[in-house]
């Protein structure tokens, strides 16, 4: 049974509710325009994966198309319709699929790393904290965590930096990087580096999330034991 949820004011998404007991799936469909031309100039200094995935991989990514995705303009106090946001989600998916510095990382004949496991852990941590503190953490989404993940992979590019047996240490290192971003209100968009995903106007919520994460660290992550 599939139903369509009426479009909310100021939100560009149409939601499909797919019911199949005992679970229900919500699918957001958003208008996207595929742009078959060179990436915008604002992306010139982004996607710094040269030492991680190689300069050829970066060049191939930049030869790919990009998308414009309908998005509510939250910067305006009054709702004045939707704007278009640059989207590179298809490139992000390719990076996550081929995430290793070595070509056989996490393949059947290769060595397993813990990159994607670290990402899953922090996404789950943020999700649980948002469920517990919806009002205080409404400004945050999984894209903040994913962006910090890409920066961390570029900062520690080698597969030996993410060995599976070092999952605990690697996760803490990634978490410390994310905390540093929160404390400095600085998390550059991975593809458009001059755009900061963390606003100084949201310092209160950033400080709140920092305290909550530090509590989890200091108490051996009780949120993972629930």
**pLDDT (tens digit per residue) in 4-28:** 887 676 677 888 988 877 888 888 8
Rounded CA separation 39/3 (Å): 37
The pLDDT, as a whole number, for residue 9 is 67
Beta-carbon contacts of residue 218 (< 8 Å; ≥ 6 apart): none
Mean pLDDT, rounded, of the chain: 90
Contact 189, 150 (CB under 8 A): no
Q: Is the pTM of this model over 0.95?
A: no
Q: Which helix (H) or strand (E) element contains residue 58?
A: helix 55-63
More confident residue, 112 or 77: 112
Q: What confidence score (pLDDT) does residue 40 get?
A: 94
What's the Cα-to-Cα distance from 20 to each of 13, 14, 47, 169, rounded to whole Å? 22, 19, 40, 40
Query: What band does 127 get if pLDDT is binned at 50, 70 and 90?
Result: very high
Numbered ranges of CATH 1.10.1410.40 in the chain: 31-224
Fold of 31-224: Poly(a)-polymerase, middle domain (1.10.1410)
Query: Per-residue confidence at 107, pLDDT binned at 50, 70, 90?
Result: confident
Cα–Cα distance for residue pair 71/10, rounded to 1 Å? 9
Q: Among all chains, which residue has been given the structure tokens 């325009």?
A: 33
């Amino acid at each position: 049974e599939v139903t369509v949820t009426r479009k909310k004011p100021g939100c560009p998404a149409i939601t499909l509710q797919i019911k199949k007991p005992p679970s229900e799936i919500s699918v957001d469909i958003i208008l996207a325009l595929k742009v078959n031309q060179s990436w915008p100039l604002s992306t010139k200094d982004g996607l710094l994966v040269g030492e991680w995935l190689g300069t050829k991989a970066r060049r191939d990514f930049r030869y790919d198309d990009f998308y414009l995705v309908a998005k509510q303009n939250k910067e305006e106090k009054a709702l004045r319709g939707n704007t278009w946001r640059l989207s590179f989600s298809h490139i992000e998916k390719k990076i996550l699929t081929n995430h290793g510095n070595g070509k056989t990382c996490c393949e059947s004949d290769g060595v397993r790393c813990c990159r994607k496991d670290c990402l899953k852990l922090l996404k789950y941590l943020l999700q649980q904290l948002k469920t517990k503190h919806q009002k205080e953490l409404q400004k945050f989404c999984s894209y903040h965590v994913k962006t910090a993940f890409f920066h961390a992979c570029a900062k520690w590019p080698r597969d030996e930096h993410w060995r599976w047996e070092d999952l605990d240490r690697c996760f803490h290192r990634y978490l410390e990087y994310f905390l540093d971003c929160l404390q400095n209100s600085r998390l550059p968009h991975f593809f458009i580096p001059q755009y900061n995903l963390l606003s100084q106007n949201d310092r209160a919520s950033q400080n709140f999330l920092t305290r909550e994460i530090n509590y989890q660290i200091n108490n051996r992550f009780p949120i993972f034991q629930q």
